[in-house]
Structure 1
């Protein structure tokens, strides 16, 4: 069990810890952790094992916002040899956060070849076209940042909605409209 104050978390992120808007965003983010899909292990035709990443979360306001958070033991002690830069710790809006979470979910697989399910990100959100455009732009920026930081190879394979594949060096919002997923490769 991990306990902390929301304003301490804001300080860690380099944000103003007295700004009510920032505090509210962190509280909303913490609530969103409970909506992350379970991690499936040992999937076969006879069985599967599912782990909730954050099985317990309590956020309460006393004098300040306090958080108690349980993290699955396998996730807490998981050692993975990569470091994400500062811009992956912060987000501009809920769409940027959503895009980053789905990128991290795709990136955190053990294989070097990875797949970002675009359709999955969009299917779970009932939003306007304008907000969908912002979400697509966030996805493009995340992949550009990961490429520029040499976390991933600069070449992508898009699985299009027509079930054909398309090789590209640069992602665009227009390409994402027509694609189901992005296949990319981690640089070891």
Structure 2
């Protein structure tokens, strides 16, 4: 009796192995969602590489304005969030697109409010007691940080494009998440 059952079970196992082998792994949508999650999860004030990059790209502005790059990043990304929506992939053409909603503070709004408040402060200075250059910059930094912490996050929608490379892996086109973040910020 065992011999009669062994042959059909072996054939069934072989058929399952062949069928599962043809599946080819995770769907492109799943791979792209995983990649996007990793990209966007890296956007955080706790990410030292990101904070260092912000500081390096400032050209010394943080020091001039007497602002801590870590505090700047903390306020900048305080309300940052994202939601990955629909992902459509055409495996045959090797292209895909993902909808992402990004919520973060708008630097356009921050800079406009900063300019307004800084100009009001400059106008209020008593000509008989003009502050030093260092005090002027420090006050600018103080106003900037105040405006940034008060600015609410806004949502922006982005479409991120992917292409399949010669190895068959899905890659973001261009700078992808970075471009989407910059678009949301401005």
Query: Shared topology, TM-score over 0.5?
Result: no
Per the shorter chain, which TM-score range? under 0.3
More contact order relative to length (CA 8 Å, sep ≥ 6)? 2
Q: TM-score, normalised by structure 2?
A: 0.26
Larger C-alpha radius of gyration, 1 or 2? 2
Q: TM-score, normalised by structure 1?
A: 0.26
